[in-house]
Amino acid sequence: MTTSYIHRRRVLFGDCDPGGIVYTPRVSHFVVEAGLEFLGDVLGGPAERRMFEMGIAPPARKLSLEFLKPMSWDDELEVAVHTLDVGNSSFSLSLLGTVAEVPVFTAELSLVCVSTESFKPVELPDEFKKGLLARLVG
């Protein structure tokens, strides 16, 4: 089993609702942010730039979240990310958010590899697929 990639961020005041709890849609932003940082680690550089250089983009196909515990501003969030599944033109990531080692959310993010010219699904480039498979857990 491979080690998960860990993305760290501090929860900001602006991420929270008036009650001081993280506003629900912000968690989806945390998931996408951590996923892109993970992909940057897979590709050895900023994910968006590296993928555009390959002529691909990764629109989301599915996002599922389970909230386990509320988060508040100034919480130090760690999001562990690993590859869940890799297909010919799609892949899925598994994410676990924790604060002080306590799980606060789980998520699954599925993405499709599309051409930046036609926006139609294309096969994952070999370098990308190999990097994703190297981070497959389970």
Task: State pLDDT tens for residues 8-57.
Answer: 999 999 999 999 999 999 999 999 999 999 999 999 999 999 999 999 99
Asked whether the beta carbons of 108 and 92 are under 8 A apart, the reply is yes
CA distance 34 to 87: 21
For all residues of the chain together, what is the average pLDDT? 95
Asked whether the beta carbons of 109 and 63 are under 8 A apart, the reply is yes
Q: Report, as an integer, the average pLDDT of 109-137.
A: 96
Residue 1 has pLDDT above 70, yes or no: no
Residue 58 has pLDDT above 80, yes or no: yes
* Structural domain span for residue 48: 5-134
Q: What is the CATH number of the domain that holds 104?
A: 3.10.129.10
Phi, psi of 93 (to 5 degrees): -115, 145
Count of structural domains, the chain: 1
pLDDT at res. 137 = 84
Residue 99 CA neighbour count, 13 Å, CB half: 17
pLDDT at res. 57 = 96
Quote the percentage of the chain above a pLDDT of 90.
Answer: 96
CA distance 57 to 120: 10
